[in-house]
Each structure stands twice: as C-alpha cells, then as structure tokens.
C-alpha cells in the first residue's frame, strides 16, 4: 500500500529545481564518513567521533563581525528545534519537530523536496516532539520517527525507499535522534525511559532496512526479578563510531522507574546510565562503564561520547570524553575498542555524591540520595550539568566547549506501577537554582584531560543548544531567553558577534561551504525539555516566543 | 501494515497535545465537544484506587492533605459515561482556605475536579509535598500544579489551562455525587 507520506513527499519534490543540485549529488561512503571533507557536514556532529568541529577557516575572529544572514527557512512548527542540518555538496537535509524533513539548496534555501509525517493521533513523548537530525549514506537519507519507525528516503527525490517499524509506539517507544552509520550498518537507539520501555540498539542494512543485530541494554540479574523487561536504559542520543576498532560507543539513559521499592542497594541495574562499547558488526556489548549504578536521580548516561586523543604528561591516549548529566567530565581509555575509566572532574556544582572512587564509581551521600518517601536536595538537577545538547572539540585548541547548566532539585521517590503506555517515573521533584549563583547557563572551555577550565561565559537562563567550533578559531552556540546566536574566540572566550533570532536557539550549529564560500547554519525554535520539566526554573524562559526558523549566515 | 491517516483536525489535536503547549486556533478545533458528557447531575463518584476501589466516595473519608481519586459513573449502569474522561480528583481543603472561585461548585470544604491533566492527559490525582506543589494538586508526569482552593488554576508546570471543576453535593447518606456536569472541556486541547 502506498503511504500518504510518500505521496506527499513526491508531491512537493520540485524536480525541475532539484535537478541542478541533485545531478551533482555525491554518494556517501564509509570512507567519506570516516574523513569528511571540510566543505561538507555529513553527520549531525560533523564526524562520527562527535567533535562538532568544522575544518573551514574562512570565517575568523577578524571578520566574524561581518557575519550576516543569507537565507532563512520556517518549518511551520512551534515545538523544540534541536536538529543539526546535514550538507552534502550543496544539498542540505534538515529535520523539524513532528518528523518533518526538508531538502534545501544550501546556498539559497530553495526547497528541493519535503516530507511531513502523518503521525498517529496518540503519540506521546516525555520531552517534546523533537527530532535531532538525520543520517546520510549512499544516495539515501534516514530518519527515525516519533512512532518508532525508521524511514529511508531517496536523497534526490524524497521518495521513501523503505519504512520499518522498529518498536511499538503505543508502549511509548519513540525515536528522536539521528541514526549512526557504523561500518555500513545503520544503527538506531530508542527513547522512552519515562514509560518503562526496554532500551536497545538495533542495526539495519541501509539498503533494505533488514535487521542485522539487536542488543538490549537492560540485563537480567542486575534488576529486581523481571524488572529488566521495563527497565529503561534507553539509547535516545546518537553514539559515536570508532572506525579504527570498529567499535560503537553509545550511552544509555535512566532506569525505569527512577526509584523502585523492589530494588536493593546492591542492584546496579546494568546497563542503565552507562557508556557501552559495542562491536559494530555483531552488536555484542564488549565492555561498559556505569556512571550511575542503581541511579535514583535520573542521571542518564546518554550524553554524546567524544572520541579524541588526550594528552597527559606528554603521553597521548585514545580516549572517550563525555560531559555527563551528574556533573562530571569523564575520560576513558578506548585503546583496542574498550572503555577503561581514567579520571573524571566536576564541571558544575555537584552535591549528589561525596565523590567517585578510584574506579569511577560514585560514593553516595545518604543526605543527597532520594528514595521512596525520602526527600533530598541534590545538584545537579535531573536535567543535568549538561543534557542532550552536545559539546564541541577543537583539535587546534585541544579544548572541549561545554554548554553547561547550574541547577539543583528537591526530589523524592513515589510509588508507581507499570502500565504499558503510561508514565513510569516514580518520583516527585522541583528544580531550584544553586544558592548564591546569579546564572544557570555556563559555556566553558575545558582541558579534556585534566578538567581544568580555560575560559567561561555565563548566562542567566539555561543553555539548551549544541556547540560548534571551527578551524577559523571560533566557537558558536545559541542562548534561550536572549534568543541570540553567538560567536566566541575559541582561545579566550571573548564574545565577538551575536545575532538576535526569532526564538530561543536550541539547535546544533554547523558549518559548510559551497563554491568556496563558508556558511554557518543553526535552528532557532525554543521548546524541548525545559518548559516541560524545569518547574520554577522554566520561568527564566517563559517569555521566549515559539516557532522554528533555520538561519544561515555568511560573511559577504 | 495498517497505517493511520489522521485528518487535519486530529493532526492539530496531536500537535497541541504532544507539543509544548502550542496553541493553534483553527476552525477544525473550535467548539469540538465529546459526543457524551463525561459526567451528569446525580452521577456517583466511585473510588478509582486504594482499598475502597469501586465503592462510593463518602465525605467522611476525605482528609485534608490527601486527595481521593474517583471516577464519575452513571447511577443506573454504575459505569463511566466516558472511561477516558470521567476521572475526578477530590480534595478536602483546610477550613477557611476555599476561595470565592471554588465555592459555587464545592460541598462545604470538599472540591472536585477532572483528574485529566490539561497538558498531556496524565492523571492529576495527588497532593504535592515539594516546593510549590505542597498542598496543591500535582500531575507527576511533568509537574503541573493546580490550586484546589482557587478553582484549579495553574500554579506551575506546562499545563495550559485549569482543570474543569465537577460541581458536587452530598446525598442523604453522606456520599459525594455530581451536582452538574464538568464546567469545561476535559483534558488537553
Ligand atoms: S501531562 Fe504533563 S504535566 Fe500533566
């Protein structure tokens, strides 16, 4: 049966216009994904190692003041716009909330084709109906959907090549982040940790959608009897791929529910709140590190693993670096495709733990660990020292740029029962500010090996957008309450330029070039989890207007 | 494969329900009403959970500080008129707390509201004990807070509008029954 969605997409495929860009469309290969050309942005973070780095250097601290909009595109959606566009030889693919997908001429903003998904009536997602981006491979574009399908589009025409149901959306499985290409496998995670789903990663043949492997992320024996079946550990943010060791690094979220009287303190609830090293060809979980064993704070471990070499005392180590929800910046040794804890340093206020032991395991502070009926205050809040919004890494400065937030929460456990499709949280909570601090958002440049802060810029309201850094020596990110898209000097953090957009900026900025001209693009379109979950802290962004616009800038 | 092709009306509804309180004024939605009233005058209120599940709610069972979750049922069939929309949260206010806005629909210090959260429809059926939620009706899905003393006005969280009230009275036996239907449209827009 022909899908209405597919017909729609073809209906607006402006084939005449498309031909010019599309005749030049270049197939995406594993080799191109492993070493993307500077001109292109082939995966949501620019490379499979999640750097958020562009090797383009035409826009610099010297000329960034002349950066101005060259085109803009309205998506017609008023929810949170968190996607990063993909650009391949002058063709841009960008997704919007409710699984809209647009193919645009990257120089003019002219629409080539579009797709608008006709989602079922009863979709529910805990944290807004976002989509964080798509993947490209061969001549295809891939998008996971809120009704837990994976769609493969013909990149040139927008026609759906295949459509696969990944899981049952009625159980609140959703897909909100881009799939990852790993050694020819199309890998997706799932979202739904607030509804008692069972997390997994699934790899597909990109040509057909046929399943190649599926690995669950909750482990029998590590949960109270049978609880692993609704145990959460969702895989809702895109991982990283290390082509050298053919290893996928992917984080997992909170256990479902947040607290559960059946749990013993010795139940680690593996692999919730963890970083997993997964064999790309078989899906086997080779090794893992659990950030928050027996988590009770909703400290998901999904935050993007960044694969870089770190240097300590002249010794370089193949590493995974990740700024985690619990407020620590972690460093792991990934030599040989494993994940071995090296060190972790606090990057925001942390009161939840007394500290970490030598193996990186948190030492609980009973005063700050909530339980059923036991109310505590802990920092950071469950929205994290950093949430989904990705850091950037510059191989020039060797610094990571972390869009962090300072906030705490009052939290206590509440009894809850699993019912398919219903919220399965088991907690009552309220966010609050860190006492005596006059800011929440804090963009920090940090040495990933030592955690030492090199510079920072603070903002009254929370940050919720990704970071981009460029070979031109710049750092770009957006703000929520101020609606600004801002450029900083990557070396010293000096604010060099800003532009007042239509809404709060929570997208992931990217850079690309066409015919030698460098562009920077970012979504402005406030929404996402803060207005839904931040309680009194959401007041800081209550006046931000809604509506999504993709902005593209250049120096003319 | 069974595919769902919703109409534009349901699409708008979905957007508003699932999105962050987006408000789309459209002719498709204006004046949309359910075919059946989820509650009518003289409907019984039955406990929806707890040890008295299925039994009528008595005024004497209500305690200040704890909410009772009930469902409105047709007194003849003892069945809800609309299972998805008949949920009711009952709260006994401390004496002197009730405000003018709640008085016309209350039975003494007892107030009743739809328990379908106006954000995304989760049950708003508990009294909070943290921060702003303390003593108020909370929805544990995303933390919306409603003031039971002030006609369920929204005090916090993503809920776009108050919970509709269910006007109540006490019958001869001290049972709480509906005095009229809900005062507004149930659930998310
Ligand atoms: S359903 Fe979201 S706060 Fe109630």
Residues from chain A contacting residue B11 (CB–CB below 8 Å): 118-119
The distance of Cα A339 from the centroid of its chain, to the nearest Å, equals 20
Pairing mode, strands A549-555 and A517-524: antiparallel
pLDDT at B27 over 90: no
Percent of chain A with pLDDT over 70: 96
Whether A375 has its CB under 8 Å from any CB of chain B: the answer is yes
Ligand 1 lined by B137 (C-beta under 6 Å): no
Residue B164 CA to ligand 1 centre (angstroms): 15
- Cβ–Cβ < 8 Å for A524, A505: yes
| Mean pLDDT over the full length of chain B | 83
Contacts for B173 with CB less than 8 Å, ≥ 6 apart: B58
pLDDT at A554: 98
Cα distance between residue A95 and residue A259, in whole Å = 34
For residues A402 and A442, give the distance between their C-alpha atoms in angstroms, rounded to a whole number: 8
A455 touches chain B (CB under 8 A): no
Query: Is pLDDT at A3 greater than 70 in this prediction?
Result: no
Q: Are strands A376-378 and A362-364 parallel, antiparallel or unpaired?
A: unpaired
A298 belongs to the catalytic site? yes
Q: State mean pLDDT over A160-179.
A: 97
Task: Judge whether B19 is closer than 8 Å to chain A, CB to CB.
Answer: yes
What is the DSSP track for A320-375? Answer: EEEE-TTSEEEEEE-GGG--EEEEEEE-S---SEEEE-TTS-EEE-GGG--BBTB-
Average pLDDT, chain A: 95
| B18 contact A CB<8A | yes
- Structure token digits, residue A51: 């750097």
pLDDT tier at A23, thresholds 50, 70, 90: confident
In 3-state terms chain A splits into helix, strand, coil percentages (rounded to 5) of: 10, 40, 55
Tokens, residue B165: 């009230």
Q: Which residue has the higher pLDDT, A443 or B25?
A: A443
What are the pLDDT digits (tens) for A470-488? 999 999 999 999 999 999 9
Contacts of B10 in chain A (CB under 8 A): 121
pLDDT at A217: 98
Q: How many CA atoms lie within 13 A of A307 on its CB side?
A: 26
Nearest residue (by CA) to ligand 1, atom 3, is: B142
pLDDT of A408: 98
Distance A532 CA to ligand 1 centre (A): 8
Kindly list the residues from chain A whose CB atom is less than 8 angstroms away from the CB atom of residue B138: 428
Hey, how many other C-beta atoms are within 10 angstroms of the C-beta on A70? 18
In angstroms, the CA B103 to CA B124 distance is 21
pLDDT score for A124: 80
For range A239-250, the mean pLDDT = 98
Query: Using a CB-CB distance cutoff of 8 angstroms, which residues of chain B are in contact with residue A529?
Result: none
Chain B, residues 96-125, CB within 8 A of chain A, namely: 120, 122
Res. B117: pLDDT tops 90: yes
pLDDT over 50 at B118, yes or no:
yes
Radius of gyration in angstroms for the set of CA atoms belonging to chain A, rounded to a whole number: 22
Q: Is residue B4 predicted with pLDDT exceeding 50?
A: no
Give residue-wise pLDDT tens across range A367-413.
999 999 999 999 999 999 999 999 999 999 999 999 999 999 999 99
Pairing status of strand A285-290 against strand A86-88? unpaired
Contact A444, A306 (CB under 8 A): no
Token look-up 């953090």 returns A493
Over range A3-24, report the average pLDDT: 51
| Nearest protein Cα to ligand 1, atom 1 | B120
What pLDDT band is residue B140 in, cutting at 50, 70 and 90? confident
Q: How far is the CA of A545 from the centre of ligand 1 (A)?
A: 21
> Which residues partner with A160 through β-bridges?
A153
Number of Cβ within a 10 Å radius of residue B23: 13
Cα nearest neighbour of A421 on chain B: B122
Put the strands of the sheet holding A427-432 in their side by side order. Answer: A376-378, A408-413, A427-432
Determine the Cα–Cα distance for residues A371 and A353; give it in Å rounded to an integer. 15
The answer to whether residue B18 scores a pLDDT higher than 50 is no
User: Which residues, at least 6 apart from A36, have a Cβ–Cβ distance to it below 8 Å?
Assistant: A42, A43, A46, A47
Say which residue the tokens 């500080």 belong to: B65
Q: B156 CB near a chain A CB, below 8 Å?
A: yes
Q: Which residue, among A131, A4, A538, has the nearest Cα to B119 in the 3D structure?
A: A538
pLDDT for B143 equals 87
DSSP-assigned states of every residue in A179-226: -EEETTEEEE--B-TTTT-B-EEEEE-TTT--EEEEEESS-TTTSSTT
Q: How confident is the model at residue B189 (pLDDT cuts 50, 70, 90)?
A: confident
pLDDT tens track for A35-90 = 999 999 999 999 999 999 999 999 999 999 999 999 999 999 999 999 999 999 99
pLDDT tens digits, B143-162:
899 999 999 999 998 899 99
Of the pLDDT bands very low, low, confident and very high (cuts 50, 70, 90), residue A421 is confident
Q: Which one of B113, B139, B145, B161 would you pick to mutate in the ligand 1 pocket, going by the greatest count of ligand atoms within 8 A of its CB?
A: B139
Residue B2 has pLDDT above 80, yes or no: no
Listed residue (A178, A206, A177) closest to A192, CA to CA:
A177
B90-116 average pLDDT score:
97
Q: pLDDT: is B189 or A339 the higher one?
A: A339
Predicted confidence band at A24 (pLDDT cuts at 50, 70, 90)? confident
- How much is the pLDDT for A77? 98
| Whether residue A7 has pLDDT greater than 50 | no
Please judge whether A3 and B3 are an interchain contact, meaning their C-beta atoms are less than 8 angstroms apart. Answer: yes
pLDDT class of A18 with cuts at 50, 70, 90: low
- B2 vs B9: CA distance, rounded Å: 20
- Ligand 1 midpoint to CA A138 (Å): 42
Lowest mean per-residue pLDDT among A13-17, A125-129, A145-149, A310-314: A13-17
Judged by average pLDDT, the poorest of A16-30, A196-210, A345-359, A368-382 is A16-30
- Higher model confidence: residue B20 or residue A214? A214
Cα of A43 to nearest chain B Cα, Å: 26
CB atoms within 10 A of CB A39: 20
Residues in A closer than 8 angstroms to B15, CB to CB, are 77-79, 98, 129
Residues of B in contact with A421 (CB under 8 A): none
Segments in B8-166 forming alpha helices (H): 8-18
ipTM confidence score:
0.75
Q: Which residues lie across from B110 on neighbouring strands? A: B92, B107
Instruction: Considering only the beta carbons, identify the residue of B1, B22, B158 that sits closest to A78.
Output: B22
The pLDDT value given to residue A14 = 54
Cα-to-centroid distance, B99 and ligand 1 (Å): 25
Q: Look up residue B128 and give its DSSP letter.
A: B
- The pLDDT of residue A123 is above 50: yes
Q: Which of B1, B7, B20 to mutate to test the interface with A (most CBs of A within 10 A)?
A: B20
Closest partner CB to B132 (pick from A121, A430, A527): A430
What pLDDT shows up at residue A360?
A: 98
Percent of chain B at pLDDT > 90 equals 70
Number of cross-chain residue pairs from A and B with Cβ atoms under 8 Å apart: 102
Helix (H) or strand (E) holding A19: helix A15-23
Q: Is A79 on the interface with B (CB under 8 A)?
A: yes
**Which of A125, A123, A87 is CA-nearest to residue A107?**
A87
pLDDT digits (tens, 9 = 90+) for A490-532: 999 999 999 999 999 999 999 999 999 999 999 999 999 999 9
Helix (H, G, I), strand (E, B) or coil at A227: helix
> Which pLDDT band, with edges at 50, 70 and 90, does B11 fall under?
very low
Asked if pLDDT for residue A331 goes beyond 80, the answer is yes
CA of residue B86 to ligand 1 center, whole Å: 17
How distant is the Cα of B15 from the closest Cα of chain A, in angstroms? Answer: 8
Q: Give yes or no for A169 touching B (CB within 8 A).
A: no
pLDDT computed for residue A13 by the predictor: 52
CB contact under 8 A, B142 and A375: no
Reported as a single tens digit per residue, the pLDDT across A219-238 is: 999 999 999 999 999 999 99
User: B116 CB less than 6 Å from ligand 1?
Assistant: no
Q: Is B9 on the interface with A (CB under 8 A)?
A: no
Residue B1 has pLDDT above 80, yes or no: no
CB atoms within 10 A of CB A311: 15
Q: What mean pLDDT comes out for the span A98-112? A: 98
Residue A266: exposed, middle, or buried by beta-carbon count in 10 A (0-12, 13-18, 19+)?
A: exposed
Does residue A182 register a pLDDT over 80?
A: yes
> B33 pLDDT exceeds 50?
no
Q: CB-based contact (8 Å) between A396 and chain B?
A: no
* Option in B10, B18, B157 nearest A125 (CB): B18
């Amino acid at each position: 049966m022909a899908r209405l969605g597919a017909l729609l997409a073809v209906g607006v495929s402006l084939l005449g216009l498309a031909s010019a860009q599309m005749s030049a469309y270049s197939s995406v290969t594993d080799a191109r994904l492993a070493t993307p050309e500077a001109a292109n942005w082939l995966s949501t973070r620019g490379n499979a190692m999640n750097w958020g780095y562009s090797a383009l250097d035409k826009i610099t601290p010297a000329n960034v003041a002349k950066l101005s909009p060259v085109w803009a595109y309205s998506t017609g959606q008023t929810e949170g716009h968190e996607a990063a566009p993909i650009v391949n030889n002058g063709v841009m693919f960008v997704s919007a909330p409710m699984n809209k997908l647009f193919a645009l001429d990257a120089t003019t903003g002219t629409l080539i084709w579009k797709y608008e998904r006709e989602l079922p009536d009863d979709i529910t997602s805990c944290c807004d109906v976002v989509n964080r981006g798509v993947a490209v491979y061969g001549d295809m574009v891939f998008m996971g959907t809120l009704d837990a399908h994976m769609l493969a589009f013909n990149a040139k025409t927008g026609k759906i090549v295949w459509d696969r149901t990944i899981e049952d959306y009625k159980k609140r499985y959703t897909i909100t982040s881009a799939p990852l290409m790993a050694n020819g496998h199309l890998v997706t995670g799932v979202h739904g940790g607030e509804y008692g789903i069972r997390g997994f990663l699934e790899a597909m043949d990109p040509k057909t959608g046929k399943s190649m492997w599926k690995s669950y992320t909750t482990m029998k024996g590590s949960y109270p009897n049978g609880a692993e079946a609704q145990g959460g550990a969702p895989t809702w943010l895109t991982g990283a791929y290390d082509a050298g060791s053919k290893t996928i690094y992917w984080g997992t979220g909170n256990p479902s529910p947040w607290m559960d009287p059946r749990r013993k303190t010795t139940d680690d609830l593996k692999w919730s709140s963890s970083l997993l090293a997964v064999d790309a060809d078989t899906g086997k979980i080779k090794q893992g590190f659990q950030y928050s064993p027996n988590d009770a704070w909703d400290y998901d471990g999904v935050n993007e693993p960044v694969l870089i070499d770190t240097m300590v005392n002249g010794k370089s180590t193949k590493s995974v670096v990740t700024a985690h929800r619990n407020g620590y910046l972690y460093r792991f040794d990934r030599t040989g495709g494993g994940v071995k804890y090296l060190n972790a340093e606090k990057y925001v206020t942390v009161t939840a733990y007394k500290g970490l032991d030598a193996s990186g395991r948190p030492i609980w502070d009973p005063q700050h660990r909530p339980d059923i009926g036991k109310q505590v205050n802990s920092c950071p809040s469950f929205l994290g020292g950093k949430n989904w919004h990705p850091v950037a890494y510059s191989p020039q400065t060797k610094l990571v740029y972390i869009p962090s937030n300072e906030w705490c929460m009052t939290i206590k456990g509440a009894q809850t029962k699993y019912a398919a499709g219903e919220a399965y949280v088991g907690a009552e909570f309220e966010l609050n500010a860190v006492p005596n601090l006059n800011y929440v958002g804090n963009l920090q440049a940090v040495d990933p090996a030592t955690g030492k802060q090199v510079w920072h810029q603070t903002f009254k309201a929370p940050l919720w957008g990704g970071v981009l850094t460029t070979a031109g020596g710049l750092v770009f990110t957006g703000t929520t309450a101020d609606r600004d898209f801002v450029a900083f000097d990557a070396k010293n953090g000096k604010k060099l330029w800003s532009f007042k957009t239509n809404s709060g900026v929570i997208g992931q900025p990217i850079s690309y070039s066409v015919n030698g001209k460098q562009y920077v693009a970012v979504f402005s379109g406030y929404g996402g989890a803060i207005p839904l979950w931040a309680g009194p802290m959401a007041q800081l962004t209550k006046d931000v207007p809604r509506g999504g616009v993709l902005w593209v800038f250049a120096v003319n | 494969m069974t595919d769902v092709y919703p109409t534009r009306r349901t699409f708008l509804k979905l957007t508003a329900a699932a999105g962050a309180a987006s408000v789309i004024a459209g002719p498709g939605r204006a004046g949309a009403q359910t075919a059946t009233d989820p509650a009518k005058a003289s409907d019984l209120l039955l406990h929806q959970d707890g040890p008295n599940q299925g039994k009528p709610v008595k005024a004497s069972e209500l305690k200040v500080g704890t909410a009772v979750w009930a469902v409105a049922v047709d007194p003849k069939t003892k069945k809800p008129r609309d299972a998805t929309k008949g949920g009711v949260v009952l709260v006994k206010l401390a004496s002197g707390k009730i405000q003018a806005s709640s008085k016309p629909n209350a039975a003494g210090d007892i107030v009743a509201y739809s328990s379908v959260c106006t954000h995304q429809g989760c049950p708003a059926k508990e009294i909070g004990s943290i921060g702003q939620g303390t003593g108020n009706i909370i929805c544990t899905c995303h933390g919306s807070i409603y003031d039971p003393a002030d006609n369920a006005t929204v005090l916090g969280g993503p809920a776009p509008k108050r919970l509709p009230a269910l006007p109540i009275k006490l019958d001869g036996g001290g049972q709480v029954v509906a005095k009229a239907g809900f005062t507004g449209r149930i659930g998310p827009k």
